Chains A and B, each alone.
Chain A
Amino acid sequence: MQPKLKSKVRCSDSEVGEVRRVIMDPLSHEISHIVVGAGAADSVERQVPMGQVQGVAEEVVTLRGTSAEYATLPAFKRDEYVTTHEVEIAHLEDRIHVTPGEVLVPFPELERSVKRRTFFANFTHAIGFLIGLPLAFPVLRYLMKPMYSPFDNQWLKIGNSGKIKQDDVGVQFKYKRKIKEAYMPEQEIDKNVWVLKATPKVLESIYQGKDMEFRDATGKALWTNKKDVPYIAFSGKCPHLGCGFKWRTHKTLGQVFLCPCHLSIYDAAGKVLDGPAPRALDPLPIKVTAAGEITIIDMEFKAGTKAQVRIV
């Protein structure tokens, strides 16, 4: 029979207290000691080896010897033990029948220095950090590789101005652009721009009396759209959130550029008439030869910003 918690503990001459805790051997899974105490919780508790125990009955544990001998037993030191909840001991509940209450196992001698344990805990974190630190930058660079690529400022042929029959009317020109992405074979993607032959009134609205200069990433001048050349090319990307807009007839506003996504509406000069767009349509560098061949530099600008920010 195993000693029970709260059982009275008697020596040959008198009662010395009650079983407060039991200590088990982690390997044999046997109870090795009982912890006996009397009175207040903070009074001295003594650790009694099972060898000193003469008999265990229901509610009573009898010890060998007198209460004077009991008083010479070592005091119980709580910080030399951990509870069984804090260590992994298999099949514990099959062997020890003490519930509820603290079931203790010895805290190994080598582990008793709190300072060393704290030091090793911090040391482990430091090592982990030192492993991670030199990886962080390479990993970030690894993932960032394709994020910023230089602009390609090539002129692309998009078609002939003969397609434009009326002034101040948006005409869509579709063209193919070759792209070469990392290891992928060269691909052709479909793109479009809106070109219109503008009357002087619309030209004035776009240029406001000034030529329009385009620069590359380093600030070097690429091309200047002259304010008196009537052909205007607008990037096909809506400056609101990047959808493709169309040339449509609006009930009250007449012929306009309309984006079907969030319903931004622009006039022939690209100015915002209605809807959520933050800026006018983006004019592109355009060249028209005497034979009417139209070429453009295919630029893209960030959508949703008041200022034009070139991204392609």
Chain B
Amino acid sequence: MDTTTQPTNTQPSAIEKVFAFVDERVGLKTLQAKMLNEPVPGGSRWAYVFGSVLLFIFIMQAVTGILLMFYYVPTADHAYASTQYIIHSVDYGWFLLGYHFWGSTAMVVCVFAHMSQVFLWGAYKKPRELIWLVGLALFGIVMGFGFTGYLLPWDQRAYWATTVGVEIMDKTPLLGDFMARFLKGGATPGQMTLSRFFVIHVMVLPAALMGLAGLHVFLFRKAGPAGPFRGTVEEIKAKTDYFFPRQIWKDIVGMVLVFLCICSLAFWEPVVLLEEATPDPGDYHPEPEWYFLFLFQLLRLKIFAGEFGQFLGAIALPGAFMALLAALPFIDRSPERNIFKRPIALIGWIVVMASILIFTVAAIINREFLE
């Protein structure tokens, strides 16, 4: 074959023909162009990767979650055994379960990073209030995933986290008792609880998350990215590029890093179950997952003692905090987005992060004291 001849034949290949056929009917090229050619004001940044990374984590959670369901049985007499079977007998079961477990942690970490970034950049302000509100709902869904998924292995850790978690929910005024019984499907955790948590975890929350995440992205695309919080219009304009390729490249690097972290954790810190769930804790000291430790430690405080104190600490305080976040774009109406010119916002963020850190560390120190 003569390789030096330039191809003079301009006839499209079979693949190109098929692609053209499909494109004519679907409009793939336009769709792709619209997805990729989104102008990013002020250019791509590493700070913007968290949204894409969260989407990636969610997809991986869905994939690993579906795979776990091939063996997992959501019944009080088989949940524990089937989870142990996944860990000890199924090839790479330990890895998929570990990935799913650490993936949920990565989700929580990235949600915090994503929310912090949006907060610090002032990106929740007009006209992006609805994106922020839908984002808060998504935050609630991620927490719901963590809470319901935690029960499924049906070991002591799972049982007690659920017992205490539902007791906390029980403290909601008026509706608390109904909500707690509704979730448990009775007075105490059992088969009905497991069935309910399972269906919420694998059907209700994924559907809600997909719908709301779609809405989140749609609203984001409609409003457009907020861009940097300083710089003149000309400066921002000069640096503006499209979503593809620079931002996508950064997003991909972010995804790869998160993927490697989750894989390493799944490999070096595999999931080990405790004894099978039962209402007698034995020597086990119940403790929630690390990202709830601060709340757990908070409830040990003397000011949150007694029935009213408990309502304050477990319901009113987190509720008021979430309400404040929801009201934020409507309270903070100044168009100023530069975090260094928003002292209350900056101090507020530092105080919240520092409190979470302090209470988490306190819970870990208390752990030693209990031994």
Nearest chain B CB to A41 CB, angstrom units: 29
Residues of B participating in the A interface, judged by any CB pair closer than 8 Å:
75-77, 160, 163-164, 167-168, 170-171, 177-178, 181-182, 184-188, 190-192, 278-282, 285-287, 296, 299-302, 304-307, 309-310, 366, 370
Q: How far is the CA of A305 from the CA of B168 in the complex (A)?
A: 11
Q: How far in angstroms is the closest Cβ of chain A from B174?
A: 14
Chain B minimum-CB-distance residue to A192: B280
**Contact assessment for A276 and B310 in the assembled complex, using a CB-CB cutoff below 8 Å:** yes
Query: In the assembled complex, how far is the CB of residue A97 from the closest CB belonging to chain B, in whole angstroms?
Result: 17
Contact between B167 and A148, CB atoms less than 8 A apart: no
Taking A181-B191, A191-B280, A192-B280 as given, write out 14 further A-B residue pairs in contact, using a Cβ cutoff of 8 Å, ordered by the A residue number. Answer: A146-B186, A146-B192, A147-B181, A147-B185, A190-B278, A190-B282, A241-B299, A261-B287, A262-B296, A262-B299, A275-B300, A276-B306, A306-B306, A306-B307
Contact surface of A with B, Cβ cutoff 8 Å:
143-144, 146-149, 174, 179, 181-182, 184-185, 187, 189-192, 236-237, 240-244, 260-263, 275-278, 300, 302-306, 311-312
B47 to chain A minimum Cβ distance, whole angstroms, is 36
A residues less than 8 Å from B309 (CB atoms):
276, 278
Which residues on B sit within 8 Å (CB–CB) of A179?
190
Specify which of B76, B181, B299, B302 is in contact with A148 (CB 8 Å cutoff).
Answer: B181
Offer 16 A-B interface pairs, CB within 8 angstroms, sorted by A.
Answer: A147-B181, A147-B184, A148-B181, A182-B191, A184-B76, A189-B278, A190-B279, A242-B163, A242-B167, A260-B370, A261-B164, A276-B305, A277-B305, A304-B167, A304-B171, A311-B188
Whether B181 lies near A276 (C-beta < 8 A) is no
- CB contacts (< 8 Å) of B163 on chain A: these are 242-243
**In whole angstroms, what is the CA distance A260 to B156 when docked?**
15
- A190-B279, A243-B286 are contacts. A184–B296 as well, Cβ < 8 Å? no
In the assembled complex, the Cα of A312 lies from the Cα of B181 at a distance in Å of 12
List, in ascending order, chain B residues with CB within 8 A of A277's CB.
305
| Known contacts A181-B191, A181-B192, A276-B299; A242/B164 CB under 8 A | yes
Residue pair B310, A278 in contact (C-beta under 8 Å)? yes
Contact A276 B300 (CB under 8 A): yes
| Cβ–Cβ < 8 Å partners of A241 in chain B | 164, 167-168, 299, 310
Bound Cα distance A275, B305 (Å): 7
Closest 9 pairs (CB-CB, A-B): A244-B281, A276-B305, A190-B280, A311-B187, A260-B285, A190-B278, A147-B181, A278-B307, A306-B307
Residues of B within 8 A of A260 (CB): 285-286, 370
Contact A263 B366 (CB under 8 A): yes
